[in-house]
């Protein structure tokens, strides 16, 4: 659910950036901004997708403390 929200926010950011620069600048700057925003959103989505959940962190800590004993 959180991943979908992050992706939706990235898409809304891309749309807002597109509309803002469409009003202020030429089409070249718009394409650069939108491309960068979309690429950043995709990279961010993939990074957050790979991050460990709190449950995974707890399991990892339990496994480490068990192996020390």
pTM over 0.75: no
Nearest to 38 by CA among 63, 7, 69: 7
Q: Encode the chain (69 residues) as per-residue pLDDT tens digits.
A: 677 778 888 888 888 887 777 777 677 777 777 888 888 888 877 777 777 677 887 888 888 887 665
Tokens of 58: 């707890």
Q: Is the Cβ–Cβ distance between 48 and 3 less than 8 Å?
A: yes
Parent domain of 34: 2-68
Q: Residues 8-13: contacts with CB within 8 Å, 24+ apart?
A: 10/37, 10/38, 10/40, 10/41, 10/42, 10/44, 10/45, 11/41, 13/37, 13/41
Tokens of 42: 């995709």
Number of domains in the chain: 1
């Amino acid at each position: 659910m959180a991943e979908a929200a992050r992706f939706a926010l990235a898409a809304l950011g891309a749309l807002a950036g597109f509309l803002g620069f469409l009003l202020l600048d030429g089409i070249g700057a718009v394409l650069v901004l939108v491309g960068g925003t979309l690429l950043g959103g995709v990279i961010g989505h993939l990074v957050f997708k790979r991050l460990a959940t709190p449950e995974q962190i707890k399991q990892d800590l339990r496994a480490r403390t068990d192996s020390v004993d």
